[in-house]
């Protein structure tokens, strides 16, 4: 079942139910944030040494959540892009992401819901490996792109914690770039532009507010193909947001990825880790 078909089915369920007649203002909660961070280091005849550096990063997030018993529908869009320049080196990417998530749930028993989830991920611009000269293009928009469609049960005791367990999950990997697909990037087979996998999926989300103006969240996604149950794909994300005032904030983000389809030149799975600390402008609406 493709992404578009799933979205149409969800809309049909919502639109055809008595809930559609309710006051939309009472059942929808919409939030958003936009941020811009900048840092710069300028050295001149500095005895201790070092390089000049400039970094710029941006983020944009939207959420639209529907809640009217027994239905809940959560939608989020996360966009991020960053650039950095160190010394006389060319400008390089430091962040690049597009993440769209939609989760539809209907109350079942107690704290459990019947649930379906769509998770889509890709990036805006080309990415390069700088280990060789000249640099080598290793990724691009929809190369890779990932889509996960999961159906199962969700345990959600409160608004801060949820876990979705899906025994029936489809994962699609896209490499919609001729040069990268010819090299077999991300799908393992030269010339192949897509890879479809069927397996199990677990996603867990935790959000807490340990103190005023500090928000912490962590999310863990696990997927395993039924043909290779010994391999588990992992995506872990953590965010700490510290708000100084209405406009100024600091954030610390971390991400770990281990994907059976992404391997180094020796064939070993690449364990990817990214950490980003930023301070700058943040507007929430």
Q: How far is Cα 166 from Cα 146, in angstroms, rounded to an integer?
A: 17
Closest residue by Cα to residue 216 from 159, 160, 284, 139: 160
pLDDT computed for residue 5 by the predictor: 43
pLDDT computed for residue 195 by the predictor: 95
Q: How far is Cα 87 from Cα 171, in angstroms, rounded to an integer?
A: 41
pLDDT computed for residue 23 by the predictor: 53
How would you label 203-227 residue by residue, b for 16+ Cβ within 10 Å and e otherwise?
A: bbbeeeeeeeeebbbebbbebbbee
Contact assessment for residue 235 and residue 202, using Cβ atoms and an 8 Å cutoff:
no
Contact assessment for residue 280 and residue 56, using Cβ atoms and an 8 Å cutoff:
no
Q: How many CA atoms lie within 13 A of 96 on its CB side?
A: 19
pLDDT computed for residue 261 by the predictor: 84
Contact assessment for residue 253 and residue 242, using Cβ atoms and an 8 Å cutoff:
no
pLDDT computed for residue 265 by the predictor: 74
The SS3 of residue 18 is helix
| Both structure tokens of 228 | 């290779």
Contact assessment for residue 167 and residue 255, using Cβ atoms and an 8 Å cutoff:
no
Centroid of chain to Cα 157: 24
The rounded radius of gyration (Å) of the Cα atoms in the chain is 21
Contact assessment for residue 160 and residue 191, using Cβ atoms and an 8 Å cutoff:
no
CB atoms near residue 52 (< 10 Å): 14
Every domain of the chain and the residues it spans: 3-284
Residues 171, 167, 193, CA angle at the centre, nearest 5°? 10
pLDDT computed for residue 58 by the predictor: 95
Torsion on CA atoms 156, 162, 168, 170, rounded to nearest 10: 140
CATH number of 3-284: 2.40.230
| Both structure tokens of 229 | 């149950």
Contact assessment for residue 166 and residue 117, using Cβ atoms and an 8 Å cutoff:
yes
pLDDT tens digits, the chain, 285 residues: what are they? 444 444 444 444 444 444 444 455 569 999 999 999 998 888 888 888 888 999 999 999 999 999 999 999 999 999 999 999 998 888 999 999 999 999 999 999 999 999 999 999 999 999 998 877 788 899 999 999 999 999 999 999 998 999 999 999 999 999 999 999 999 999 989 999 999 999 999 999 999 999 999 999 999 999 999 999 989 999 999 999 999 988 999 999 999 999 988 887 777 888 999 998 989 999 988
Contact assessment for residue 222 and residue 253, using Cβ atoms and an 8 Å cutoff:
no
Decide: residue 67, CB within 10 A, 0-12 exposed, 13-18 middle, 19+ buried.
middle
Q: Which helix (H) or strand (E) holds 240?
A: strand 233-243
pLDDT computed for residue 24 by the predictor: 52
E-strand ranges in 9-144 read 28-41, 53-68, 71-86, 92-107, 112-122, 127-129, 136-139
Contact assessment for residue 241 and residue 215, using Cβ atoms and an 8 Å cutoff:
yes
pTM: 0.86
């Amino acid at each position: 079942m493709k992404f578009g078909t799933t979205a149409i089915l969800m809309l049909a369920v919502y639109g055809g139910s008595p809930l559609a007649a309710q006051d939309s203002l009472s059942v929808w909660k919409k939030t958003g944030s936009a941020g811009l961070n900048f840092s710069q280091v300028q050295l001149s005849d500095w005895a201790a040494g070092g390089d000049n550096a400039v970094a710029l990063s941006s983020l944009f997030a939207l959420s639209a959540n529907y809640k009217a018993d027994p239905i809940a529908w959560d939608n989020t869009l996360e966009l991020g892009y960053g650039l950095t320049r160190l010394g006389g080196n060319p400008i390089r990417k430091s962040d690049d992401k597009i993440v769209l998530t939609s989760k539809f749930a209907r109350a079942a028993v107690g704290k459990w819901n019947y649930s379906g989830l769509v998770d889509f991920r890709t990036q805006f611009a080309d990415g390069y490996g700088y280990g060789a000269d000249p640099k080598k293009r290793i990724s691009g928009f929809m190369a890779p792109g990932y889509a996960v469609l999961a159906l199962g049960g969700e345990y959600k005791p409160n608004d801060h914690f949820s876990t979705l367990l899906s025994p029936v999950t489809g994962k699609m990997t896209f490499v919609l770039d001729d040069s990268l697909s010819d090299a077999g990037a991300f799908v393992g087979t030269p010339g192949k532009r897509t890879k479809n996998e069927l397996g199990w999926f677990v996603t867990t989300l935790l959000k807490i507010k340990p103190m005023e103006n500090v928000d912490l969240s962590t999310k863990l996604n696990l997927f395993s193909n039924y043909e290779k149950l010994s391999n588990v794909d992992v995506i872990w994300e953590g965010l700490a947001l510290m708000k100084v005032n209405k406009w100024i904030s600091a954030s610390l983000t971390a991400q770990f990825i281990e994907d059976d389809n992404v391997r180094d030149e020796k064939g070993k799975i690449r364990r990817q880790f990214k950490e980003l600390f930023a301070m700058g402008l943040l507007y929430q609406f």
